Amino acid sequence: MARIASSPVARLLLAAHGALAGLTVDVENADSVKAAAALVAEDLMTLYHGNETGQTPGIFDSPPAGDYWWWTGSTLWSSLLGYRNRTGDTKYDETISQGLMFQVGPNNDYMPLNWTASEGNDDQGLWALSAMAAGLYGLPNGGNNNPQWVDVAKSVFDEQHMHDRRVDEDDCAGALRWQIYPFNKGYDYVNSASNIAFLNLAAQLAYVTGNKTYADAASDTFDLLSDIGLVTEDFDVYDGAQADDCDVNKAQFSYDAGLLIQGAAFMYNHTGEDGWRGRLDGLVNRTLDKFFVDGAAFEVACEESNRCNTDMYFLKGILLRTLGSAMQVAPHTADKILPVLKSSAKAAAAQCTGGDNGRMCGFKWASGKFDGKTGPAQQINVLEALVSVLPAGGATTGSNSNGTDSGSNGQNTQGSTTDDHQSMGVRSSVSVAALVGSALLGSLFM
């Protein structure tokens, strides 16, 4: 197992908070949070084998040898990119770049040959958002004529914007299907994750490039989700609908709400429009009310009933990542979001008392007790919880010749104020994240 501390400084900082047994952290102290996050990241990387000889870069062990589907790999890279951005720790750069680039596929669109036949639009969107984060944070792309990160994200947008990916008739006309190919189970299902991922990607591309096509796509997608009933007037976000009759499946998962919040935050920042602010604020209020119990993130669809599967374990971390991003992009939301993120981070760290090293993390946080369920998702979730309370901008952000194209930044600062940024100790740089998608919902509902 990993060492108790990754450095003498981290060891001393955690010892000051009684963290040598477990992972106690002072969420009001940035140095304490960074030290704890470094340990969680270190332990997380002991569970990734893609950079070892004979293994596949970019993904966790997948079936039949392992239990992790392709999409989960991108959550690792999005998490480490957020960690990099907020702590300034760049030691994982080569591993992140290798993982993201190895899975990009022959057409630079995250449709690698080993997974193309089975991946869904949500899977592809998830990887595209990871690439988007890599570009915004200036992650080197490895050179050797590799594509620029944002160009990869644009390619995914272009493909998902096409009519052949979408329902062409009846009440769900225009919606992005869950599956890409008709022979896959779920082709006749419109899942919110695919459409929200597309909206989020479009919003971020609008923010970066100022291109109206992207902004229009984000707006049209929100309208469509509302018209179908997947986003309600009370800002509940439902899982999906059958493509033929648009009958809505009212299950709710935290990542759908979080990803939509992030997309709305980018659109409000980009446009400064009251309409986007209203959507953003409504989504934040409803999501904080629904997906947190006693101040800790809680996956309401499965956590209390102990019915979460391997894929569902990843969703809580995505919620925290996207809330942290929204708080940076639209600082007025911090008054509501930041206290909840801090209480959740405290609860998350407190239950990391498992494993041979005495600090591996579990899935359930509200009880404050380690539940015995360890794995990549559990480590990612806690890493996201800790990282989300740190100011952005610890590492290089924005355009970089290795990561982005030369498009202008379309940021509109009407959605924020200098005082807001100064009071939070942050820059107006984005904290982009991923969403989740996957072959995951096949195991849930199909």
DSSP-assigned states of every residue in 240-268:
EEETTT--EE----HHHHHHHHHHHHHHH
Q: What is d(CA 329, CA 105) in angstroms, rounded to the nearest whole number? A: 31
**Chain segment 363-382, per-residue pLDDT in tens:** 999 988 999 999 999 999 99
pLDDT score for 144: 85
Q: What is the mean pLDDT of residues 106-122?
A: 96
Burial class (CB in 10 A: 0-12, 13-18, 19+), 446: exposed
403 contacts 205 by C-beta, under 8 angstroms: no
CA nearest neighbour of 115 among 441, 445, 438, 446: 438
Q: What is the mean pLDDT of residues 8-25?
A: 54
Q: Is the pLDDT of residue 431 over 50?
A: no
Residues contacting residue 215 through CB under 8 Å, at least 6 positions apart: 202, 203, 206, 267, 270, 271
120 contacts 67 by C-beta, under 8 angstroms: no
Give the pLDDT band of residue 21 (cuts 50, 70, 90): low
Q: What is the mean pLDDT of residues 290-314?
A: 97
Q: Could you tell me the domains of the chain?
A: 66-338+401-445 (1.50.10.20)
pLDDT score for 379: 98
Q: What is d(CA 87, CA 82) in angstroms, rounded to the nearest whole number? A: 8
366 contacts 296 by C-beta, under 8 angstroms: yes
Burial class (CB in 10 A: 0-12, 13-18, 19+), 386: buried
pLDDT score for 66: 84
Q: What is d(CA 441, CA 21) in angstroms, rounded to the nearest whole number? A: 37
